[in-house]
Amino acid sequence: MSSRTDDTTRPAADGALARRAEALEVSGWGERFVLVQPHNLCFWVYVVLTGIGVFQVWSFFGPEVGFYAEGFAVAALLCGLCGVAWFLWFRHIDRWERQPRGLVAAGLLWGAIPATFAFAMTVNTALLSIYPKLFGQDWTASWGAGFIAPFTEESAKLCGFLLLMGLAPRLVRTANDGLVLGAFIGLGFAVFEDFLYAANATSAAFGTDAVGNAAHMSLTRIAVSFASHPLFSALVCCGAVYLLGTAAQPRRVGRGVAFVLAGMALHFSWDNAGGLSFGNALLVFPVMFVSVVVGFTVLTIAFRRAAIQEHQFVRDILAPEVEAGVVTEAELEATLDKKARKAFTKAAPSHRARRARTHLRRAVLDLTHDIADAKGAESEEVRHSRAEVARLRAAAA
């Protein structure tokens, strides 16, 4: 089998190879990410603002870390575990062009440190002082958070995405990149914001139950973490890609504005659930429920629209493989399309074959990624992935 895959795939038609070459050029799939780029001003801005964020973190927590060490440790553990769970989920759904680890790490770090501590903490504090001066204490208590965070925090997170676009212009260029990287930036922000809330809670009750209050606040934040910064910033960053336009994504101003506003509006409604329920405690939960339903509906729409382009990249990159018979049309469509996937899996003759077909779809994507990593050339990894496709096809029959 392996000799077949090694020897019979070479003579792909020029048209298919041209499709692949163009898709690799336009998509930037397989490009590696390098953070340290001394010629790139985005790199220096990233470094300086991260440094400012680290300084702010130390200034904020440094004086208290010794006294509340146990409470901080509990908060870090709980918020960290929640973050790890979400991280694994986001990596799982990042299936088309898997974002390079370095890029993901840079996004997480931005959300965690500069966005939270260099940007948001300072400007939020200032606005929380301005609003009561202008509109009174009661208005600020009801509406202040919702009229601050969607502007300050979303712009802080978006700044990180813009820097990543500047650092990796060939890697960050599709709406799907905006959704995935935006989610990771938001995740970094959410984990550190949750930790910040929990750390502040250690001083509640005059510091007499630091561990208990930190644990309680951490669990409260975790309980509502499914509708949080990753959701908001995924939509905002996706919208930014449509707004700015890239080599892979023609500018779509209307759609871009819609997604940016959707992310901000969801942030507003989530933060202002109390205000929107007009002081009626019974209405708070329905308001939050509606926010969640609308939020995930918009997110699903965004992912579906973004996937169209990613699917085309996969088809183009695999075109020579389809022509050579390494991957069949049915396998390719089952990898990309939900209906085709169900039909493909259902057609399997046995439970064992159904499992093999699931693995086969994953192997087809692995082959796509290995071809992209090799820039369309032959490599040991590409040959191995072809062999894997053939092996799993045999098991799926």
Partner 1 sequence: MSSATTTRTPPPDRRRVPVDHRLLGLDTRTFPLALAVVAVFVLATVVVPRIDAAIGWDDPVRAGERLALSDTVAFTPTTGWNVESGFRVGAGGSTVSSGNATVVGDGVTFEVVPDDFDGTPAELIDQVEKVTSSTGDATFRADGQPTTVTTADGDVGVLEAYSSVNGDGLVAAFVIDGTGLEITVYGPPAQMRAAADDVDAMIASITSDGSAS
Residue range at the interface with partner 1 (CB under 8 A); choices 44-52, 74-82, 349-357, 386-394:
44-52
Nearer residue to partner 1 within complex by CB, 274 or 295 = 274
Residues 291, 297: Cα–Cα separation, whole Å: 10
71 forms part of the interface with partner 1 (CB under 8 A): no
**Site stretch for partner 1 (CB under 8 A), options 9-17, 66-74, 179-187, 343-351:** 66-74
- Only one of the segments 40-48, 173-181, 295-303, 304-312 lies at the binding site for partner 1 (rule: CB under 8 A); that segment is 40-48
* Two tokens, residue 315: 């088809």
Closer CB to partner 1, 10 or 133, in the complex: 133
Q: Are 298 and 235 in contact (CB under 8 A)?
A: yes
Interface with partner 1, residue 300, by CB under 8 A? no
**What is the C-alpha to C-alpha distance for residues 294 and 266, in angstroms, rounded to an integer?**
8
* By CB under 8 A, residue 326 contacts partner 1: no
Closest distance of CB 122 from partner 1, Å: 5
**Smallest distance, Å, CB 10 to partner 1?**
24
With binding defined as CB under 8 A, does residue 211 bind partner 1? Answer: no
Transcribe 16-76 into DSSP letters. HHHHHHHHHHHH-TTPPP----TT-HHHHHHHHHHHHHHHHHHHHHHHHHTTTHHHHHHHH
User: Judged by CB, which is closer to partner 1: 1, or 69?
Assistant: 69
Residues binding partner 1: what is the number (CB under 8 A)?
A: 53
Which of 227, 225, 192, 224 minimizes the C-alpha distance to 299?
Answer: 227
Contacting partner 1 (CB under 8 A), which of 156, 183, 327, 392?
156
Interaction of residue 257 with partner 1, rule CB under 8 A: no
Question: Which structure tokens are listed for 53?
Answer: 């964020």
CA 109/CA 166 separation, integer angstroms: 16
Residue 81: other Cβ atoms inside 10 A: 12
Residue owning tokens 């939960």: 285
Nearer to partner 1, 139 or 197 (CB): 139
25 binds partner 1 (CB under 8 A): no
The interface mask with partner 1, positions 165-184, x = CB under 8 A, is xx------------------
Give CA separation, 233 vs 24, 116, 272, in Å.
27, 13, 18
Q: Under rule CB under 8 A, which residues in 103-132 are in contact with partner 1?
A: 118-120, 122-123, 125-127, 129-130, 132
Q: How many CB atoms lie within 10 A of CB 280?
A: 11
Q: Is the CB of residue 119 less than 8 Å from the CB of residue 50? A: no
> With binding defined as CB under 8 A, does residue 68 bind partner 1?
yes
Rounded to whole angstroms, the Cα distance separating 36 from 317 reads 29
Q: Could you tell me which residues come within 8 angstroms of residue 389 by beta carbon, excluding any fewer than 6 positions away?
A: 5, 326, 327, 331, 360, 363, 364, 367
Please say whether the beta carbons of 389 and 360 come within 8 A. Answer: yes
Nearer to partner 1, 19 or 229 (CB): 229
275 binds partner 1 (CB under 8 A): yes
- Lay out the site mask for partner 1 across 332-371 (x = CB under 8 A, - = otherwise): ----------------------------------------
Which of 7, 14, 92, 208: binder of partner 1 (CB under 8 A)?
208
- Shortest spacing between CB 319 and partner 1, in angstroms: 25
C-alpha distance across the termini of the chain, in Å: 15
Residue 47 binds to partner 1 (criterion: CB under 8 A): no
Query: Could you give the C-alpha distances from 16 to 11, 376, 383, in angstroms and in order?
Result: 10, 11, 18
Looking at 153-161, 178-186, 259-267, 381-389, which segment touches partner 1 (CB under 8 A)? 153-161
**Closest alpha carbon to 367 in 347, 348, 389:** 389
Closest CA to 224 of 265, 194, 266: 194
Least CB distance to partner 1 at residue 225 (A): 22
Binding residues for partner 1 (CB under 8 A) = 32, 34, 36-42, 44-45, 49, 63-64, 66-68, 118-120, 122-123, 125-127, 129-130, 132-134, 136-139, 141-142, 152, 155-156, 159, 162-163, 165-166, 203-208, 274-275, 279
